[in-house]
Amino acid sequence: MTKEKLIQTSHYCQKVSIQKNNNLQETIKEVLAEEVPIAIVYNGISHVVMMASPCDLEDFARGFSITEGIIKSLADIYSIEVLKKDNGIEINVEISAEKFIHLKEIRRNLTGRTGCGLCGAESLNQVLKIPENKKNETKFSSKSILKALKNFSEQQKIQKETGATHACGLFDSEGNLIILKEDVGRHNALDKLIGASINSQILNDYFVITSSRASYEMVQKLAYLNLKLLVAISAPTALAARLANQLEMTLVGFARNNRYNCYTHPAQIIG
């Protein structure tokens, strides 16, 4: 058994004082990842509440808006304002009148658990959205993938402190880290990465590593960057593999300890 007492808060983690079961007389300090209700509000109308880490929230709003099909490009967003409330955080996003009218037509009202992207979806068409597939016959180096995996684990700062977050990283063709985002939810981490990357000069031979399993939604979201390699630390789902195959995306799973499994389009990986 352990007991805990809150002693200090930062923007993304909470320090606590605990006692471990092998010595209840000794107090030690530990760091817990924060998990906060984040409401995304478009033009004054609340659209969704997600449980997420309270960092990189403007990137989160941009990425979520893109991958949910609410906007087509960042030009559709006029402003983003992050407001701290007593019971959570509110992100106010001002979008174009055209996109707001479209949003009202497809609007869903959901309260998601950690990283949950389906709760409250009203139809199957809202779930299996297939982004436009652009041709990309890029080859990827196995050596660069293994190098990127090492860099990936070393750069997860919140995970190192708390042991409770996921991460998604964007890497170049040499396996060098370009951008890394962390969150308590794997989908949120990828939305943050997409939001931070969408206006960057992303080349075809860039790829993404996720610390989680590869669900269909991770594949679906990555397609918005038109990248053709997703590397997951854990397993993919069958639907993720089918979708990756349809999108001509190389899907790698169980990427750890200097090895990995390739589930789709293995010809895209060279030695």
CA pair distance 115, 118, nearest whole angstrom: 9
CA pair distance 23, 1, nearest whole angstrom: 10
CA pair distance 92, 94, nearest whole angstrom: 7
Cross-strand pairs, 168? 181, 210
User: How far from 240 is each of 67, 68, 170, CA to CA, in Å?
Assistant: 16, 17, 19
Contact between 262 and 250 (Cβ < 8 Å): yes
CA pair distance 18, 218, nearest whole angstrom: 36
In three-state secondary structure terms, 109 is coil
Burial label for 178, CB within 10 Å (0-12, 13-18, 19+), is middle
116 is catalytic: yes
Cβ atoms within 10 Å, residue 241: 19
Cβ atoms within 10 Å, residue 254: 17
Task: Give me the catalytic one of 13, 55, 116, 262.
Answer: 116
CA pair distance 170, 208, nearest whole angstrom: 5
Positions annotated as catalytic residues are 116
